[in-house]
Structure 1
Amino acid sequence: MQTTIRWILFDADGVLQRSADGWQDRLLELLGDASTLEELFAAEREQTMTGGNFRQLVTDELACQGVQTDPEVVLDVWRDLIVDEEMTARIGQLRAGGLKCALATNQQDVRVAHMRSMPEYDGVFDAQFYSSEVGLAKPDPAFFAQIVQQLGVPTAEVLFIDDVRANVDGAGAAGLHAEVFEHDAGVGELDRILAAYGLVGR
């Protein structure tokens, strides 16, 4: 594929990081039943991905359901992340070769604060874009358009990588190059995508 890529935007969950094993079981244990967990997931998606206070949302939901668990203990499950360090090492190699790399992910504010403080991500990216800070979320093409505007480059010089087809389609609709990453597939999957753009060895 003959094209000039100057920036690569990476999704986080399913590409660079995953939640700790058993995280859903842990939440069920803390919340008491599946319906409370589903309500919390829905509220997270609908109320906090483009702004809002997730800590307050969790606190209110626990109180509404009569759950006595400390909200911070529940939030700790959202903060329990495992980063693929082979992936972040490859990003370092890409940057050393002259490419710019950024994070472009849907996250609520508690996750954002935690991810910004994680040593595994320290110095990894040239820029970080979180939906709750941008005020827009994937797969909305406007999310990508706003990021590219901030980068100050043509959309045709940006490659977006995500494990969700809808998000890839949204990026494509905004004019970016966009590729589906097989969920949690690791650095070999990244190298496959890079090879298609002539970026292996950068």
Structure 2
Amino acid sequence: MRASPSVEDNSPIPYDRSSPWWVVFDYGEVLSLQTDVRPAMAELLHVPVPDFCDAWASERYAYDRGASDTEYWWAVGARLGVPVDEELAARLTAIDISGWIETRPEALALLAELAEARIPLALLSNAPYSHARVFRRQPWAASFRHLLFSGELGMAKPQPEVWDCLTEQLGARASDLLFLDDRQENVDSARAAGLRAEHWTTTDRARDRLVDFGLCPYRPEASPPEDASPADVQATRQHSG
């Protein structure tokens, strides 16, 4: 049996398919390419964008942990001195979700390669309940065996309890999970709980680490930039082929 790595040791070790490693992805700023829709929401509330951004962020803690759309937007409105009813909350929610729908083509390509190689995949994202319902219907969701969202769990990264929930859901040891997240505080929390964890900066760097761990099938000869358009992605693939 493969020995469990120490928390301090985050170096690659051989991948043993008899004891599958799970690769656990974050969503926001990893698979998704966030579009800043806050100016549109500020305009809907007729408030300055900086004031809206402060209120939007200040109330996010509870929203990510299960507060309803109406509760969240009522709290945001209260900070701004703007009344928010259910209809307005629904409009704000739709705009908010739209800012997280666009995805990174190369990140999804990496995801598809791992799924094709039969690497067990899971997703752990800090996302409100309503956002989770939309994300579950996206095509990329089919690549994952488990999808965990903070709004459904009632807890969020980097809370220590979330890692216990994750390992229980996956039926795996913490040392058998490789977690990828763009926030260092979440990476640090995961490592403290015994997971392997890597700070996501770009898809290419994540791929390199997955290859190092023996989890990614290959390194493509060329990859388009993170912000490449679909046409640029296709052109790069044709050139590489």
- Quick one: structure 1 residues 24 and 66, their matched pair in 2 at CA, closer, same or farther if it must change by over 3 Å? closer
Cα shift at 1:67: 5.4
Higher gyration radius (CA): 2
Query: Which amino acid in structure 2 is aligned with residue 28 of structure 1?
Result: A
Conserved? CA contact 1:53–1:109, under 8 Å: yes
Count of matched residue pairs: 196
Q: What is the aligned counterpart of 2:144 among 100, 125, 129?
A: 125
Partner of 1:15: 30
Q: What per-residue deviation string (whole Å, max 9, x for no partner) do you get for residues 25-72 of structure 1?
A: 223322312324422321122x22222212332145437723579323
CA distance in 2, matches of 1:149, 1:17: 26
Conserved? CA contact 1:160–1:179, under 8 Å: yes
Identity percentage of aligned residues: 23
Conserved? CA contact 1:17–1:82, under 8 Å: yes
Conserved? CA contact 1:106–1:131, under 8 Å: yes
RMSD between superposed Cα atoms in Å: 2.2
Cα shift at 1:92: 2.2
Conserved? CA contact 2:180–2:198, under 8 Å: yes
CA distance in 2, matches of 1:66, 1:108: 22
More relative contact order, 1 or 2 (CA 8 Å, 6+ apart): 1
CA distance in 2, matches of 1:26, 1:51: 24
CA distance in 1, matches of 2:156, 2:75: 24
Q: What per-residue deviation string (whole Å, max 9, x for no partner) do you get for residues 153-181 of structure 1?
A: 11111100001100001100111000001
Q: What is the aligned counterpart of 2:40 among 26, 29, 42?
A: 26
Partner of 1:78: 96
Cα shift at 1:3: 4.2
SS of the aligned residue for 1:18 comes to coil
Q: What is the aligned counterpart of 1:2 among 4, 13, 17?
A: 13
- Please list, as runs of the form range in 1=range in 2, the aligned pairs for 1:98-177 lying within 5 A after superposition: 98-118=118-138, 120-177=139-196
CA distance in 1, matches of 2:179, 2:213: 12
CA distance in 2, matches of 1:84, 1:49: 22
Q: TM-score, normalised by structure 2?
A: 0.73
Give 5+ residue unaligned stretches, structure 1.
none
Conserved? CA contact 2:69–2:90, under 8 Å: no
Partner of 1:58: 73
SS of the aligned residue for 1:153 comes to coil
CA distance in 2, matches of 1:60, 1:166: 26
- Quick one: structure 1 residues 55 and 196, their matched pair in 2 at CA, closer, same or farther if it must change by over 3 Å? farther
Q: What is the aligned counterpart of 1:197 among 196, 213, 222?
A: 213
SS of the aligned residue for 2:109 comes to helix
